[in-house]
Structure 1
Amino acid sequence: MNFPNSFFWKAALPRFRLNGRGSRKFLQGQTTAEIIHPEGNHKYLRTCWLSPTGRLKALLEVRFIDQDAEVVVLGGNSQKLLNGFDQVIFPSDQVEIQSIGFIQRVQELSYKKTWGECYVEWLLPSESTSSVFDGFQPANKNQIEEWRIRQGLPIGLGELNEKTNPFELGLSNLINLNKGCYLGQETMAKLKNNSLLKQQLRFWEINKEMTSDDTLVGNYLEIGGDKAGYITSSMQIEDGKTIGLALIRRKYISEKLLFIADTSISLEVTSPIGFVDFLI
């Protein structure tokens, strides 16, 4: 699982700009992180855009330029975000949103730290990567997907589909329950205060390569005849193993071995590298 060399993930992502003195206040009321008074001195801030019922609609990355804010969608539908924000902006908000083309987002790939701790930079078309990436190589599609799965970065369609909430997906560090009201906050508070979480994301591994005819995504997992969860992502890797992600019911979250329903195929189950538990 360790990369023999240093690799980076480079992706062209649509970029939106919020212009006006009300930009931070608007994001404060629409997303989950503390925007106006963020902790630390981070160049990029991650936050979630939720439905009114607390379902994750998009995972966002934000940077601030004076009073304005630029936003990229790491996971989710960027056009839905643009339309959704535009529909709730009023003249009194003192903010406008516009699409300003694509940004090249570059991220270090590491298994020694969480995806949220891996170095990131945004590049304009005319810019080159900084010296931080000297000696790095661009990762291929399979390397990026393996890293995403092992990290538990929930931007795959099986995880980010407006049916799950951030606590289930290991994004609790992006949820602030102490700031003013925002979309989905009431549900997030109830989940946290009443321990109502039903499932959580887990990494799994099968010590053999499944045939190309095996479609694992969507398969149920079980233990002792009871349904324990279902597979959300799956891929074969070079060392003859199959890995993936699954949403596991809280009742079985401590189980280390589960089985694909109606088979004898066992999966080793662990917490993803980048998962942040809401109970911590």
Structure 2
Amino acid sequence: MATSAIEAKDTAAIQAATVGVAVCDRSFWGRIRVSDDDRLRFLHNQSTNDFQSLKPGQGCDTVMVTSTARTIDLVSAYVLDDAVLLLVSPSRREFLLQWLDRYIFFADKVQLTDVTDETATFSLIGPGSDAVVEKLGAGAIIGQPYGNHLLIDNIVVAVGSGLAAAGYTLILPATDKQKVWNQILELGTVELSDRAWDTLRILQGRPAPDLELTDDYNPLEAGLWQTISFNKGCYIGQETIARLNTYKGVKQYLWGIRLNAPAEVGNAIAIGDEKVGKLTSYTETADGHFGLGYIRSKAGGVGLKVRVGETEGEIVAVPFVSHEYPQ
């Protein structure tokens, strides 16, 4: 009985995130502060997006990649006056701290600080989030580009929910966490659990570390074209990404899969007897079963009928990913 009550709560929260406003506590995600004079140049050289062109008050999503352009993490970056704040996946926090530290050379003026424990992060998700931000005193941010942010009462309020839905990300001192959380709930926001966040993540196609973001895939295959600058100078993994783009060499793409029944992560995706991909995430919702998976480019895309393990499925587009450079 308890399980169905929790599921009903999650369903209501997902509904709120779609038509109203929900709030998710993402404080267990990692936060790394990158400071000192060379911070923008350093991040520019370590990831896929163009940091050199960003000014304080702006931000972006970027992908940390290996030298062979395999994905480590999808990171949100916010450029402050004196530092850049990185919001990283929970399972990648320590790895990224060590990874970035390895690339700081003797003459580099770069400081890395793990500020996870002294900060908190909330995501406001849904069309009703503008009204909440207005009441928090950050109305000036409404309508600004993705990643733009301002500081109100020690709270960084940034455009973007972390998902494909409209919304905002708040980063604040841990000492203010409970007060601000209560304030947000009092404004009529519905609490979204971590499990409901993960369901939304899958429905919207946000790739996650250890599932869609692994040594097996590059950012173009993961559909993260909006995080990649093809015009910037050299960075780790750049040659591979440029070559894949130039020669249309992307062999597989991440897609959503509407399923007729449950399926298991790791199941092969097949057309007839031919294996064309692998299921990387799965969730059950009030509307049925849904998964994410990589499918070979030549097999097709939206509308393609597939078999996932013993389950029938159909390929659908998911809003978080794109399969070509945004025009």
**Fold shared by both chains (TM-score > 0.5):** yes
Kindly provide the CA deviation profile for residues 145-171 of structure 1, in whole angstroms up to 9, marking residues without a partner as x. 221011111015221122211111111
1:138 aligned residue (188, 191, 198):
191
Q: Is the 8 A contact 1:201 1:247 kept in 2?
A: yes
Residue 74 (structure 1) shift = 3.1
Give the whole-Å Cα distance in 1 for the aligned partners of 2:323 and 2:127.
18
**AA partner of residue 277 (structure 1):** H
Kindly provide the CA deviation profile for residues 24-52 of structure 1, in whole angstroms up to 9, marking residues without a partner as x. 1111111111112139x864421111100
The 1:100/1:172 distance shift into structure 2, 3 A limit, reads same
Give the whole-Å Cα distance in 2 for the aligned partners of 1:136 and 1:196.
44
Larger proportion of helix: 2
Residue 129 (structure 1) shift = 5.2
Q: Tell me the residue number matched to 1:273.
A: 319
The 1:104/1:68 distance shift into structure 2, 3 A limit, reads same
**Root mean square deviation of aligned Cα:** 2.7
Percent identity, please. 25
* Mapping 1:6-25, distance limit 5 Å: 6-12=21-27, 13-25=29-41
2:173 aligned residue (124, 144, 153):
124
Q: Report the count of equivalent residues.
A: 272
1:242 aligned residue (253, 267, 289):
289
SS in 1 for 2:31: strand
Give the whole-Å Cα distance in 2 for the aligned partners of 1:159 and 1:29.
23
SS in 2 for 1:91: coil
Q: Tell me the residue number matched to 2:306.
A: 259
* Mapping 1:32-43, distance limit 5 Å: 32-38=48-54, 43=58
**AA partner of residue 253 (structure 1):** G
Q: Which runs of 5+ in 1 are unaligned?
A: none
Q: Tell me the residue number matched to 2:15.
A: 3
2:270 aligned residue (222, 226, 232):
222
* Mapping 1:1-280, distance limit 5 Å: 3-4=15-16, 5-12=20-27, 13-38=29-54, 43-74=58-89, 77-102=92-117, 103-110=119-126, 115=164, 117-127=166-176, 128=180, 134-208=187-261, 210=262, 216-239=264-287, 241-254=288-301, 256-260=303-307, 263=310, 265-280=311-326
Tell me whether 95-104 or 132-141 shows the greater mean CA deviation: 132-141
Residue 238 (structure 1) shift = 2.9
Residue 279 (structure 1) shift = 4.7
**TM-score calculated relative to the size of structure 2:** 0.75
Q: Which runs of 5+ in 2 are unaligned?
A: 1-10, 129-160
Give the whole-Å Cα distance in 1 for the aligned partners of 2:188 and 2:273.
50
**TM-score calculated relative to the size of structure 1:** 0.87
The 1:276/1:246 distance shift into structure 2, 3 A limit, reads same
Q: Tell me the residue number matched to 2:144.
A: none
